[in-house]
Amino acid sequence: MAWYRQLHWQIIIGLILGTIYGVLAAAQGWGGFVSDWVAPFGTIFINGLKLIAVPLILASLVTGVASLSDLKKLSRIGGKTIGIYIATTAVAVTLGLFIVNALDPGLAVPQEMRAELEAEYATDAEGRMASAANAEARGPLQVLVDLVPDNFFAAITAGTRLFGGDGFSNEASTLQVVFVSLLLGIGLIQVPPERAKPLLSVFESLNDVVIKLVDVIMLMAPVGVFALIAATITSLAGDDVGRIIALLGALGYYCIAVLAGLALHTLITYPLMLRVFTPMKLGTFFSGIGPAQLVAFSTSSSGATLPVTMERCEEKLGVSEEVSSFVLPLGATINMDGTALYQAVAAVFIAQALGMDLSIAAQLTIVLTAVLASIGTAAVPGAGIIMLVIILQSVNVPAEGIALILGVDRILDMVRTVTNVTGDATVATIVASTEGQLNIPDPSVDTDRLVAVA
């Protein structure tokens, strides 16, 4: 098959052309045109993905659980998944702290630049701090309360709120869909097979249909990605490309520290884990998961990317549906290694730039709060910086300091979302492998669904 017909190449081409067009549009002052005529195609693409996320979680999780012979297996897989998720996040935060302490990027920010950034982003920072205050006011056990919906149908229709809104109510609604699906699946195991069959068939059929729809929506990915990237660039630059370049110059060291940490975690920690716990070849893993990484990069949302992650893990990596349908939706909501790593670097950077020295005890507090915060971070663009406010408060660094990094946050968000999604896929592969549920497809049989659909 010609290389350009492969999905990931088409998305990469969309990404490159979108970047070139975005820079050109910003330089020419075409921001208004882009937001009126280009950006909507990106929104349509993301909406399409969000649209199928809820039916996909519901159908695949119900059928996955119902196919389990015993519930012990479910709790074993659940325990293992959450354990690995927390462990990888702790590694990510520690890695971030090592890098930021080694590079000391905060010491490189000149005094006058600090004042300028603080003034420019003060209002934005206030908005983020208000959202963080909302999240904190909800109380420590609110997460558990939110897990159990009081209305079955409202939970299932949560799609309208899913991955949108303020970034917190939707966090709960994703987990509510997972909870309701688990309950339904458990109920189906408990009734005699002939009574369960009709309902189960509905979910099985829905599952097959939705997985096919992922392929259909992904046909739009190259155009969607083009539009998303172009719109991000023009809105960041605000008709002045020099602005992005100046910001990157001022915060260059900080960006390098975050990107180096994310690269190490994505390209060393995960491959090492895959090597140790699975027979998966790294080439197969990264080419399989590539399109999901590209969608994560352009949407900055691991929630919107979820349908693609699930499809790629099942079709290209050979993760069983039973494992992927449980591990991936859970991962998209609670596992954010990239976000946690970035939060650790950002917290120390802000402290350094404000002339504060963080003790070892404070850095350990960062490890703990960043792991917890990443669990509570919603899978939507920009959620990480809201939770950063809570981390800063835990180590007594003024939260207004986020004004220093707001200008480059969207760019780093794109990259940390790639790490988040790669982490979910890695854990799904490991859980599947250790459960004997990994059937790596033969790479010589090309199953690229794009061609199948086209």
> Which CB, 105 or 423, lies closer to ligand ASP?
423
Cα–Cα distance for residue pair 369/382, rounded to 1 Å: 18
Helix axis angle for 282-299 and 302-312, nearest 10°, is: 150
- 151: CB partners within 8 A, 6+ apart: none
Residues 290-309 that bind ligand ASP (CB under 6 A): 300-302
Which of 211, 225, 306, 379 is close enough to bind ligand ASP by CB under 6 A? 379
Q: How far is the CB of 145 from ligand ASP (least distance, A)?
A: 23
Site string for ligand ASP, 409-448 (x = CB under 6 A): ----x--xx--x----------------------------
* Cross-strand pairs, 319: 438
- 195: CB partners within 8 A, 6+ apart: none
* Cβ neighbours of 78 (radius 10 Å): 15
Q: Should residue 266 be labelled a site residue for ligand ASP when binding is judged by CB under 6 A?
A: no
- Alpha-carbon distances, residue 278 vs 288, 317, 379, 426 (angstroms): 15, 11, 27, 10
Q: How far is the CB of 74 from ligand ASP (least distance, A)?
A: 26
Report the C-alpha dihedral over residues 367, 266, 378, 13, rounded to 10 degrees: 150
Residues 307-366 that bind ligand ASP (CB under 6 A): 336, 339
> Which CB, 215 or 424, lies closer to ligand ASP?
424
Residues 39-98 that bind ligand ASP (CB under 6 A): none
Q: How far is the CB of 284 from ligand ASP (least distance, A)?
A: 24
Q: How far is the CB of 378 from ligand ASP (least distance, A)?
A: 7
Q: How far is the CB of 300 from ligand ASP (least distance, A)?
A: 5
Binding piece for ligand ASP, criterion CB under 6 A, among 202-210, 372-380, 392-400, 438-446: 372-380
Binding piece for ligand ASP, criterion CB under 6 A, among 44-52, 78-86, 169-177, 373-381: 373-381
Site string for ligand ASP, 384-413 (x = CB under 6 A): x----------------------------x
Q: How far is the CB of 251 from ligand ASP (least distance, A)?
A: 17
Q: How far is the CB of 339 from ligand ASP (least distance, A)?
A: 3
Q: Should residue 234 be labelled a site residue for ligand ASP when binding is judged by CB under 6 A?
A: no
Which of 382, 394, 410, 435 is close enough to bind ligand ASP by CB under 6 A? 382
Task: Supply the DSSP string of 90-136, one letter for each residue.
Answer: HHHHHHHHHHHHHH-GGGGS-HHHHHHHHHHTHHHHHHHHHHHHHHH
Output phi, psi for 149, to 5 deg. -75, 155
Residue with nearest beta carbon to ligand ASP:
384
Report the C-alpha dihedral over residues 383, 242, 105, 376, rounded to 10 degrees: 0
Q: What is the DSSP letter of 1?
A: -
For 438, the 3-state DSSP assignment is strand
Please name the amino acid found at residue 221.
A
> Which CB, 188 or 421, lies closer to ligand ASP?
421
Q: Which of 237, 258, 314 is nearest to 56 (CA)?
A: 314
**Number of residues this chain uses to bind ligand ASP (CB under 6 A):** 16
Which of 377, 426, 429, 433 is close enough to bind ligand ASP by CB under 6 A? 377
Q: How far is the CB of 167 from ligand ASP (least distance, A)?
A: 8
Cα–Cα distance for residue pair 410/417, rounded to 1 Å: 10
> Which CB, 311 or 413, lies closer to ligand ASP?
413
Output phi, psi for 298, to 5 deg. -85, -25
Residue given tokens 């052309």 in the structure block: 17
Q: Should residue 383 be labelled a site residue for ligand ASP when binding is judged by CB under 6 A?
A: yes
Cα–Cα distance for residue pair 92/449, rounded to 1 Å: 33
Cα–Cα distance for residue pair 83/446, rounded to 1 Å: 34
Residues of this chain that interact with ligand ASP (CB under 6 A) are: 300-302, 336, 339, 377, 379-384, 413, 416-417, 420
